[in-house]
Amino acid sequence: MRVATVWGWGDEFEDVKGNCRKYISKRWDESIKECCIEVIAKDSEGACYFLSAYINNPRSVGEFAEGLFYVALYAGYKVERITIQLSDSIISDEEKYRDSIENAEIKLEEYEQAIRERFTNDPRVNSIVQERKIEFISPTNLLCELESEIANKIVTEVIHEDFSHVKDLSVSLNNRLIEEGLAKRVTGYKIWKSVDEFEIYDMNIRDDEAYIWLGVSSK
């Protein structure tokens, strides 16, 4: 499996297509079954989002990458980088997200309950609870699978602490992909939270309320 960054913030926008084509012309050989184009970006609210397209036709990569780039750019304020991953297998088979958004939100409620159960008895939380209302704040990943006539599939992923913003950004990205002809329709969703990997990294006490920020350890 080969992964390379083909564009980064500071490069010219018009270089996206050409850089991808140059990389593909040098690296794509008869062993390659599929490639993943991934556009990584963030918006002014601090949400991170990823647009990934899985393609088995090398001639489509440059133009498709450019399309993804502009969808990501118009959704936020900074596209950080674009990568291409070449694989000798069909890696998109592993990316299957088929829940309805309603079922995904039920799963989110289950995650939130698991977080409360795990951290409510933490000594650091117990020491400040008293009569206060406790709110746990943690990032949520919303993944969405989309069908495409050109790509084998497209996957969007949005990550942020505010799920309403995650959902709105996901819908905006998905609609734009469909409007631009890159995707045909949404296939389904998946919610994911790293409950077992979370740890407390900040706490803020305000009179009768306490806010507990959770994140994944960088160790």
Beta-carbon count within 10 A of 96 CB:
13
93-106 pLDDT, tens digit per residue, is: 999 999 999 999 99
Residue-level pLDDT at 2: 76
* CA distance linking residue 52 with residue 145, whole number of Å: 10
18-57 pLDDT, tens digit per residue, is: 999 999 999 999 999 999 999 999 999 999 999 999 999 9
Torsion, CA 82, CA 88, CA 92, CA 94, rounded to 10? -120
61-79 pLDDT, tens digit per residue, is: 999 999 999 999 999 889 9
Q: What is the DSSP string of the chain?
A: -EEEEEEEBTB-TTHHHHHHHHHHHHH--TT--EEEEEEEEE-TTS-EEEEEEEES-GGGHHHHHHHHHHHHHHHSSEEEEEEEEEESS-GGGG----B-HHHHHHHHHHHHHHHHHHHTT-HHHHHHHTT-EEEEE--EEEEEEEE-SSSSEEEEEEEES-HHHHHHHHHHHHHHHHHTTS--EEEEEEEE--GGGEEEEEEEEETTEEEEEEEE---
Whole-angstrom CA distances from 62 to 51, 94, 156, 195, 219 are 15, 24, 19, 38, 36
Name beta bridge partners: 39: 51, 82
Let me know if 149 is exposed, middle or buried by CB neighbors in 10 A (0-12, 13-18, 19+): exposed
78-92 pLDDT, tens digit per residue, is: 999 999 999 999 999
Angle at 63 between CA 58 and CA 65, to 5 degrees: 85
